[in-house]
A and B are shown apart, each in its own frame.
Chain A
Amino acid sequence: QKEVEQDPGPLSVPEGAIVSLNCTYSNSAFQYFMWYRQYSRKGPELLMYTYSSGNKEDGRFTAQVDKSSKYISLFIRDSQPSDSATYLCAMSGTTYNTDKLIFGTGTRLQVFP
């Protein structure tokens, strides 16, 4: 079993839809949870970062962490064609020198006009 599981998609939605992207994980030591966005032939870039459980909102994006269920989500409201990309969840622990990022496989999202 992988430490981080993520549905690879692809997920295809119409413009304006609400998108829900999810990851599950097995390592209870993870404390930091991130979502990266990767456009084709580019490196990933950080979208959202959350510490421990709870919600965080940034514009059209909301990240949720439920540590009791080992489940994290990213919601995109009013999705736009420019949101078409691969979304990768990433996690790390708290112990110094072991904060390497562990990534999910990524979910490919396509938003069509």
Chain B
Amino acid sequence: GAGVSQSPSNKVTEKGKDVELRCDPISGHTALYWYRQSLGQGLEFLIYFQGNSAPDKSGLPSDRFSAERTGGSVSTLTIQRTQQEDSAVYLCASSRGTVNTEAFFGQGTRLTVV
């Protein structure tokens, strides 16, 4: 596909369950970002992958959150033991990774924890 693809687009889960959110970046993009956007809020940085370097995990809010990027392409954000405050839109973006090219965003995954 031409753009960043995220799945699922919507996810409703029960409190305490684990969820996995998937991001397919644009082919050839070495940088991949995850952000969280709560209602009426800006984009909260979660994690950043750049090529083969160690990811910048400084934005992950707790150890219930983790992310991996396999083969430098697809990324999965996992939230364990979900809480109601995890409800938000999770946005993924990718870029060519050179200083500072445009980051292209996916449509996001709307997560609702009930």
Binds A, one of B67-75, B78-86, B105-113: B105-113
Q: What A residues does B106 contact at CB under 8 A?
A: 43
Question: How many of chain B's residues have a CB under 8 angstroms from any CB in A?
Answer: 24
Q: B62 → chain A, closest Cβ, in Å?
A: 19
Give the dominant DSSP class at A's interface: loop
- Most chain B CB atoms below 10 A, which of A6, A8, A99: A99
Q: CB distance B100 to A105 under 8 Å?
A: no
Q: B1 → chain A, closest Cβ, in Å?
A: 14
Residue from B33, B35, B41, B102 within 8 A of A49 (CB atoms): B102
Q: Can you list 9 A-B pairs, Cβ within 8 angstroms, ordered by A? A: A43-B106, A46-B102, A46-B104, A49-B100, A94-B99, A97-B56, A98-B56, A99-B50, A103-B45
Apart from the given pairs A88-B43, A96-B99, A100-B33, 20 other A-B contacts in the complex at a CB distance below 8 Å: A6-B42, A31-B100, A32-B100, A42-B107, A43-B4, A43-B93, A43-B105, A43-B108, A44-B43, A45-B105, A51-B100, A90-B43, A99-B31, A99-B50, A99-B100, A100-B48, A101-B103, A102-B45, A103-B43, A105-B42
Q: Give A residues with C-beta under 8 Å from B.
A: 6, 8, 31-32, 34, 41-46, 49, 51, 88, 90, 92, 94, 96-106
Q: Give B residues with C-beta under 8 Å from A.
A: 4, 31, 33, 35, 40-43, 45, 48, 50, 53, 56, 91, 93, 99-100, 102-108
